[in-house]
Amino acid sequence: MFDFIQYLFDGLAVGSVYALIALGYSMVFGVLQLVNFAHGELFMVGAYFVMYAISLGLPWPLALAFGMCSVGFFAVIMERLCYKPLRGAGKLAPLITAVGLSLLLQNLVQAILGPNPQSYPASLPEGYFSNALKSIFPSPEQIQLPQLPEGLFDWGEIVVRHRDLLIFIVAVAVTLGLELFLRKSRPGRGIRALALQPNAAKLVGVPFDFTISITFFIGAALAVLAGLLQGMADNQVTPYMGISSGLKAFAAAVLGGIGVIPGALVGGLVLGIAERLLVGYDLSTYKDGAAFFILIIVLLLRPQGLLGKARMVKV
Amino acid sequence: MSLLKVENLTVRYGAIEALRNVSFEVNEGEIVTFVGSNGAGKTTTMRTLSGIVRAASGRMQFKGTAIESLPSHQVVKLGLVQSPEGRLVFPDLSVRENLLLGAFARRASHAELNRELENVFELFPRLQERLKQDAHTLSGGEQQMLAIGRALMAKPSLLLLDEPSLGIAPLLVQQIFQKIVELNKKEGMTVLLAEQNARMALKIAHRAYVLEVGEIVQQGDAQVLLKDERLQKAYLGG
């Protein structure tokens, strides 16, 4: 029994990272009914970006903010260049584009930065670009790594690491903050209106393109935050980290009810904990399949997801 | 004075020409109606005016500003606001939230918004009774009131009403049309109305245009058209 509770706590951290990525999938799907398969790659690119920024000597909060903004704008440009021209072209074309973008980004990062995992603090591969950067940022005397707390809550049978709890609290706070933003702020209300009834949103004056851009920006920024947390937790980044985490986060978003913000958090935590349980009970071989097994079961019983609302389509 | 002036508007959906060389205008203080059967191009006209559909060619001027290439939210800001066909209320939001979203383009203060909510409730007391209900729980007629109320929250100088009678009990249709007249008379609201129910529309309108397969085939004083023989045969059931 204590084992079981212990595994629940152990699953929080990885589940929270899934949740942070899932929020982006969910928001973008909400406004465009598009599954942005390149989203997992934004998480990976973000993890690299922040790691190098830290390695160049930037204090980590600055590196994180810088990474969130840069990858956020990158996502906005990606949407403008690759998805916007395909509006009105049906659902398949943007979906294939998303898969293509995902592969492109993975391979691009692999080609430029190498296929091997890198750990903090990492130095950029040699080359003109990195030399230029190094001349701007002379080799840092001290690198300030974000410190995840190392302590433990020790309750006898159950031990909870502070860092896991911290990651969980960050995910909950971000989800609440996002929900508040969507309900109270002007751009947030625009995003909600667009998700509920796109043409009506246009007719009340919600600026369509701008609102889509904001949605992509926020989703990407949260993925970068997830990238940093995951990078710190594993102490390494790889060009492939976006594939499995991205797919699982997508499963989490659907599981919780895609388009529903708290659903992403619930879905992420359910998957994270399920994986940890499998590992705990010596079934770790099946760990990566767990996400999709749960997804299939939930979709059979509750196609709208755990927190989704079923809606009858009026004809 | 001409508030809206449209010249030689042509709209295509792929190879299909939905509107061909349509020209019309709406003057301040008027109720103008487009009548015509299903597929005549009424809704296409409305959607093009609001910037949801793009014209293949032609010019549209609203308050002297060219609007044919403006994005929809800027058209709303200029004061050209639509209550769309099928109502398109925000289903999961309350009546109040729906109405407040109507004022999205305006950045109005709380006091201002409350005043305008009051105005809408004066016109449609039913909405005040339903204030906290989700919009999808309303009847068709109530949703239509909500869609019109939402459009009014944007403070339009020209109100576009697309098929306000669609799928609504006849008694409520009467009521809604009375409200449109009231708006026009009391507040001087200019209205462009697209309506399949030609008799109802012509009764309350000053001027009318008759659309047939994407072209204007007749136009003029609404009361005169109401008695027109050809129109009586085609649209007025007698």
Interface confidence (ipTM) of the complex: 0.94
- A128-132, A182-186, B1-5, B20-24: lowest mean pLDDT where? A128-132
CATH number of the domain that B44 lies in?
A: 3.40.50.300
Strand arrangement of the beta sheet that strand B57-62 belongs to? B16-27, B2-13, B57-62, B65-66
Q: Does B52 touch chain A (CB under 8 A)?
A: yes
pLDDT mean across residues, chain B:
94
- What burial class does residue A73 get, using C-beta atoms within 10 Å of its C-beta: 0-12 exposed, 13-18 middle, 19+ buried? middle
Residue A314's pLDDT is what? 44
What's the structural domain count of chain B?
1
Report the predicted TM-score, pTM, of the whole model to 2 decimal places: 0.91
Residue A259's pLDDT is what? 85
* Chain B positions in Cβ-Cβ contact with residue A208 (cut-off 8 Å): 71-73
SS (H, E, C) chain B: CEEEEEEEEEEEECCEEEEEEEEEEEECCCEEEEECCCCCCHHHHHHHHCCCCCCCEEEEEECCEECCCCCHHHHHHHCEEEECCCCCCCCCCEHHHHHHHHCHHHCCCHHHHHHHHHHHHHHCHHHHHCCCCEHHHCCHHHHHHHHHHHHHCCCCCEEEEECCCCCCCHHHHHHHHHHHHHHHHHHCCEEEEEECCHHHHHHHCCEEEEEECCEEEEEEEHHHHHCCHHHHHHHCCC
Q: How far apart are CA A20 and CA A265, in angstroms?
A: 7
Q: Give percent above pLDDT 70 in chain B.
A: 100
Q: Please say whether the dihedral angle defined by the alpha carbons of residues B233, B166, B20 and A88, taken in this order, is positive or negative.
A: negative
Residue A274's pLDDT is what? 93
Residue A287's pLDDT is what? 85
* pLDDT of B38 higher than 90: no
Question: Mean pLDDT over residues B29-33, rounded?
Answer: 97
Residue B238's pLDDT is what? 60
Fill in the DSSP letter of residue A124: P
Q: Do B89 and A207 touch (CB under 8 A)?
A: no
CB contact at 8 A, A303 and A255: no
Residues B199-211: pLDDT tens digits? 999 999 999 999 9
CB contact at 8 A, A231 and A50: yes
For an interface test with B, the pick among A184, A189, A196, A203 (most B C-beta atoms closer than 10 Å) comes out as A203
Q: pLDDT below 70 — which residues of chain A? A: 121-147, 310-315
Pick B104's closest partner by Cβ from A196, A204, A208. A204
Q: How far apart are CA A227 and CA A67, in angstroms?
A: 10
Q: How far apart are CA B77 and CA A91, in angstroms?
A: 31
Residues of chain A whose beta carbon is less than 8 angstroms from a beta carbon of chain B are 186, 189-190, 192-193, 196-197, 199-209, 309, 311
Domain encompassing residue B56: 2-235
Q: Do A200 and B81 touch (CB under 8 A)?
A: no
Q: Do B73 and A207 touch (CB under 8 A)?
A: yes
Residue A59's pLDDT is what? 84
Residue A60's pLDDT is what? 85
* Chain A positions in Cβ-Cβ contact with residue B50 (cut-off 8 Å): 202-203
